[in-house]
Amino acid sequence: MASFPNALNEQVSNEFGASQQYVAIAVHYDALTLPQLAAHFYRQAVEERNHAMMLVQYLLDAGESIVVPGVEAPQTAFADVVEPVRLALEQERRVTEQIAALVQLARDERALVGEQFLHWFLQEQREEVSSMSALLAVVERSRDNVMLIEDYLAREAGESPLEAGAPPAAGGAL
């Protein structure tokens, strides 16, 4: 197998790991009775899972082998209300670097269809880093009154968990 398909399989693992981390963050906020923060991160978990399944569908369509990975356990304990969002922003920045590296690898291997497929992910990551940066700013300013964070997220709610223009996901983005 060429290195690009291998790297895509690694990214499947990264996306599932990101999904699990978001579930852990959501559960943390749910336990603190912060339903808007919990719902936000449950939605993020579904989004990351769907990203993994989009990669799986690409590999299926390309006739490549697929490795369904196990993932490391996510961080589940947090010092305060800010730490999970800070972790989420770090995760989004890391995924952005991973996707950029995949694009470069596809280009280097002249896997032009793969490179084109990944362009949607680059745009998605720009949006994810931007929105998580904004949420972190709100959380940092409002750490002493978490209800302001809840109000902010309630006003921002309404986005569909299925992203417009996204590549198809294995299983139909359930």
Kindly report, residue by residue over 44-91, the tens digit of the pLDDT.
Answer: 999 999 999 999 999 999 999 999 989 999 999 999 999 999 999 999
Domain presence at residue 72: yes
Q: Residue 160: pLDDT band by 50, 70, 90 thresholds?
A: low
Smallest CA-to-CA distance from 118 within 127, 106, 108 is with 106
* Sign of torsion over alpha carbons 113, 110, 68, 75: negative
Domain presence at residue 101: yes
Q: Which domain holds residue 60?
A: 3-156
pLDDT attached to residue 1: 43
Give the CATH number for residue 108. 1.20.1260.10
Smallest CA-to-CA distance from 66 within 111, 15, 116, 21 is with 15
Smallest CA-to-CA distance from 54 within 87, 14, 92 is with 14
Domain presence at residue 107: yes
Q: What is the pTM of this model?
A: 0.91
Domain presence at residue 140: yes
Give the DSSP letter of residue 105: H
How many domains does the chain divide into? Answer: 1
Give the residue-averaged pLDDT of 94-122. Answer: 97
Domain presence at residue 150: yes
Domain presence at residue 83: yes
**Contact, 163 vs 124, CB < 8 A?**
yes
**Contact, 108 vs 7, CB < 8 A?**
no
Domain presence at residue 35: yes
Domain presence at residue 167: no
